[in-house]
Structure 1
Amino acid sequence: MTETQSIAQPPPAPHIPVPQAEEVYRSVLEATELPRIIRVTDNLYAAAFSLMKLLPARYIIDRAEAAGVLTPGTPVIETSSGTFGLGLAMVCRLRGYPLTIVGDSAIDDDLRNRLQLLGARVELVEDHGAPGGIQGARLARIAELQQEFPESFVPGQYDNPANPAAYAMVGDLVTRTLGEVDCLVGPVGSGGSTCGLAASLRLRKPSLHLVGVDTHGSIIFGPAEGRRVLRGLGSSIIPGNVEHAAYDEVHWVSPAEAFHATHELYRENGLFMGPTSGASFQVASWWAQRNPYSTTLMVLPDEGYRYQSTVYSSSWLDESGIVPVANTDGPHVIEHPDEAGDTWSRLIWARRSYGSVTGRELPA
């Protein structure tokens, strides 16, 4: 090769800027507690949480510390068989509070292991037919432990107003991201997320339409208590944080319908979420399709990894006798909660009180 000859050189690689993080989070709590706002269809958006209950757990602990009722080393005792317990365990581990979780058989082995790895003591109770069902039994055990450890702190997710107040942060995020929201759809368990987020969003748009999603066997909106296969929403007690007069309509969905919607949410949108998210998607997608000029936001409370051996497992579904199936007819419109039956039902609640809708007083 002569000096005048040259070897062809590849063109220089284009400059690709490396994305920079907007901020460095101070802890995993801060990095995890808020949802991603995701556009699903033209007018349907998701507030998709990795672990929604982490937010109220952290907020309740913050408020207790600020009030001086929670000091270093104070035992924390709470009832939970799901994600509130997990969120609380993360907070207590990072801040050094010994934690006891009183739950039931809904705490699967994987969840129990995660709680214990975070240092929580897990105590399971059974339903002996007492008033309030399994949640009543859990609350009764909490009361016993409070007597045994009078210096302890009980977050009380069902009745603590700091639970719904925590979701003002989510309301601010939604408003900055989407502006006004016309309809909010979310599963109802403790009442914190739907009531708290609706209250925040209604500061900007008072006419916001709130749709609560419940399941058969729950007593929150009035039907007789029964067995709840679809856990994570609904309740065998009526939490104090459920503000009935905040809801414009209520839907009851069955496990088969919600499980199908959970699978559909993943298949069609890549959102790998839990069954309460599936229930929310089932109702929200129906509502958004029928109100194409309205902006609909659905709450998706947690990811699906906890449910890989159940809701996402064909063998578990077969053993449970559940065949996930779409309800293509939509909800059956009812006039009273007692008419909810065992398939998808819809009641126009119209921001009325529990008593005015059901004709009964709230249980003591």
Structure 2
Amino acid sequence: MDEHIAEALGRPDLVRLDERLICCRFETLKVVSALTAVRHLLDTGAVRPGDTLLDSSSGIYAHALALACHRYGMRCHIVGSSAVDPTLRTQLTVLGARLEQMEPSDDLKLDQKRRVERVREILRDHPEYHWMRQYHDEIHYLGYRAVAERVRAEVDPGSLTVVGGVGTGASTGALAHYLRTGSGAGRSGSGGAGPAGPQLVGVQPFGSVTFGAEHVPDPEIIIAGIGSSIPFGNVSHTLYDTVHWVSFEAARAGSVDLLRRHAVFAGLSAGAAYLAARWERDHAPRRTVLFLAADTGHRYVDSVFARAAGARRVEELAPSQVTDASELALPWARMEWNHAPAPGAARPGALPVAGPGAR
């Protein structure tokens, strides 16, 4: 029996959508990461019960960290994106977390830059706070070991392709790492991936700097949570075999089809991952494809599901195959990444990569 609701929320559901397509569905993806990270910090003495944990978030991580702090008797301070919706704001308040939300902005780069600057101001005034560094600390990989073990118990990792939003790199990157190695922490390059091993497919929005698409804006939106306009220190690019860039409209088509065809009500990043996973399944007949659904669809009722009648059919969509980021174009592109290192603009600069407990 679980001792706290966060433990239940962090446990994924594995749903077989067809013979070779599996949905790894989370209520809130980053709960498993935040719980394990906070527990590790307490066990190693890096923090003590009652300390304040601080970080920046566009939504999912804010909820996850607030739950972890509630579970372990910590204080929580979040510098939130303008994308944090009223439902989440209310939950954070009742959970006892302090939320500072940025003013609305159409410029994600400005939003992220302002959030990081505000975190630094808070740390200057409160050096006793612990910055969780979800964008830079490898400690956030640790929680996905349990997810990998759950997947390994159900599916042969040797013929598995994992598809999901890259984000900070801690979800898809960590899952692939643990499936490839079976143990250990942090990240270790390609981890022995190959034709007979687990493959990793990252999903990105256009406009994200992480894999070199910052020059291709999406006129609708940069999908919060799976891309970034600033370098992330814990994305291990060499873990990835393939990258898909998916526009808002293409991701919306995926989310609507996922609900209509399979009754899975999930967010926009899940729609993008589902779209990419369908393509990978159809073009690798000997492999099983598992994709991550990071959250439910409640945040996207107005922007995605209320407009379902106007969504394109997924059968009408296919990625353009590119060999260089300069060839990227909306609405959907695919490139063999082949464990290449980070492009220049995605390499972290001034922000620290590692924190307490990272290896």
**Superposition TM-score tier, normalisation by shorter sequence:** 0.7 to 0.9
Residue 92 in 1 paired to residue 76 in 2? no
Judge which range, 332-341 or 44-53, deviates more: 332-341
Unaligned runs of 5+ in 2: 183-191, 350-359
The separation in 1 between residues aligned to 2:330 and 2:41, in whole angstroms, is 41
TM-score by length of 1: 0.85
Tell me the residue number matched to 1:195: 173
Alignment of structure 1 residues 226-265 onto 2, 5 Å: 226=217, 228-265=221-258
Tell me the residue number matched to 1:347: 335
Cα pair 2:55 2:77 within 8 Å, conserved: yes
Deviation at 1:121, TM superposition (A): 1.3
Tell me the residue number matched to 2:213: 223
**What is the RMSD of the two structures over their aligned residues, measured on CA atoms?**
2.2
The separation in 2 between residues aligned to 1:334 and 1:353, in whole angstroms, is 17
Deviation at 1:293, TM superposition (A): 1.8
Alignment of structure 1 residues 10-25 onto 2, 5 Å: 24-25=1-2
Tell me the residue number matched to 1:210: 200
Deviation at 1:256, TM superposition (A): 0.7
Tell me the residue number matched to 1:3: none
User: What number of residue pairs does the alignment pair up?
Assistant: 332
Tell me the residue number matched to 2:100: 123
Aligned match for 1:154, one of 127, 131, 134: 131
Residue 35 in 1 paired to residue 28 in 2? no
The separation in 2 between residues aligned to 1:269 and 1:203, in whole angstroms, is 32
Residue 65 in 1 paired to residue 26 in 2? no
Residue 337 in 1 paired to residue 325 in 2? yes
Task: Give the 3 Å change call, closer, same or farther, for CA 61–363 of structure 1 in structure 2.
Answer: closer
TM-score by length of 2: 0.87
**Residue identity matched to 1:152:** Y
Q: Secondary structure at the match of 1:278?
A: helix
After superposition, the C-alpha distances for 1:150-198 in whole angstroms (9 at most, x for unaligned) are 1111111111111122211111111111132421111111110111000
Q: Secondary structure at the match of 1:245?
A: helix
Residue 185 in 1 paired to residue 185 in 2? no
Deviation at 1:60, TM superposition (A): 1.1
Cα pair 1:250 1:348 within 8 Å, conserved: yes
**Residue identity matched to 2:210:** I
The separation in 2 between residues aligned to 1:238 and 1:89, in whole angstroms, is 25
Task: Give the 3 Å change call, closer, same or farther, for CA 149–49 of structure 1 in structure 2.
Answer: same
Judge which range, 200-209 or 213-222, deviates more: 200-209
**Residue identity matched to 1:308:** V
Judge which range, 88-97 or 233-242, deviates more: 88-97
Deviation at 1:237, TM superposition (A): 1.3
Judge which range, 222-231 or 121-130, deviates more: 121-130
Residue 56 in 1 paired to residue 49 in 2? no
Unaligned runs of 5+ in 1: 1-23
Deviation at 1:238, TM superposition (A): 2.0
Cα pair 1:104 1:134 within 8 Å, conserved: yes
The separation in 1 between residues aligned to 2:317 and 2:83, in whole angstroms, is 31
Deviation at 1:345, TM superposition (A): 0.3
Cα pair 2:211 2:346 within 8 Å, conserved: no
Q: Secondary structure at the match of 1:37?
A: strand
Deviation at 1:257, TM superposition (A): 0.8
